[in-house]
Amino acid sequence: ALSGTCLSITMLAIWLTAPRAPFVLTVACGILVLVAHVVLFWQYSKEPNPWLCQAVLVLLSLGFLIICLSAMQYLGVGNHGSVVLPTLAAMAAGAVFTYLGFDGIGFLITYSAVTALLAAIGTMFWMKGDHDRRILLVVSFLSGACGLSFALCGLVLLVQGQWVLGAAPDNWAERLNTVVAVACMTGLGALTLSLHHLQAQIELKAETMTDPLTGLMNRRALNELYGDRSFGPFMAIAMFDLDHFKT
């Protein structure tokens, strides 16, 4: 919880210096929500009650939903409803089953939703990333590993038929998930900073290579693209002088 809080504060500070990178702020918010989940889960393991259980499950789904939305922001993927609506439906279903006393089913639904969100994150970075493939592949791997650990938690509950728990689930999958999730989320947080740096480099290069008024390539871009290359007889350059163009 402490490391997650520190990481979120770092991201917030970075976003304040570079507000054009909204995905950094979104990741920071998602991690803060997950930190709140960890704190409440610890409290729930000490003093279990249905209302606290519902809060724990909602925060877990909400935190990963926000992180998934940050991935969509970074990659420029629209149609947020395809992720938000199913997750909200899963959160509502989990809350209902928990309220009715079937907290095991509530955990199972939540773990399934989180697994789907992490799978979506990994798939998006694997399929749509067009920058440094090394960073994006590591993000995909960490998302997949974290999602697999949550899937194992749900699978154990399903196989053992633990529909009613009355307390925080405690089994080998949960203990494995604790280690894997912390490691993966720490890695994803650090990679978010790398992605921010990479995006800043790309934007800076684009600004130096284009004319701010027209968006066309400037002389620096043409020099980098063609350099000392010789042109054939069918190449021509046209120049226009437009009066009052900027006004």
Q: Which long-range contacts (CB under 8 A, 24 or more apart) does 32-40 make?
A: 32/4, 32/5, 32/8, 33/59, 33/62, 33/63, 33/66, 34/4, 34/59, 34/60, 34/63, 34/64, 34/67, 34/185, 35/1, 35/4, 35/5, 35/8, 36/63, 37/63, 38/1, 38/4, 39/1
The chain-wide mean pLDDT, for the chain, equals 83
Instruction: Name which of 106, 157, 117 is nearest 33 in CA terms.
Output: 117
Instruction: Answer yes or no: is 245 within a domain.
Output: no
Q: Provide mean pLDDT across the span 67-88.
A: 89
Instruction: Answer yes or no: is 80 within a domain.
Output: yes
Torsion over CA: 69, 29, 179, 94 (sign): negative
What predicted TM-score, i.e. pTM, was given to this entire model?
0.78
Q: How many domains does the chain have?
A: 1
Instruction: Answer yes or no: is 237 within a domain.
Output: no
- Which of residues 6 and 61 earns the better pLDDT score? 61
Give per-residue pLDDT as tens, 23-62: 878 888 888 899 899 899 999 999 888 899 999 999 999 9
Instruction: Answer yes or no: is 218 within a domain.
Output: no
Domain that holds residue 136: 2-207
Residue 65 has pLDDT above 90, yes or no: yes
Give per-residue pLDDT as tens, 123-165: 988 887 565 667 778 888 889 999 999 999 999 999 999 999 9
* pLDDT range class, residue 237, cuts 50, 70, 90: confident
Instruction: Name which of 209, 197, 186, 181 is nearest 74 in CA terms.
Output: 197
Instruction: Answer yes or no: is 244 within a domain.
Output: no
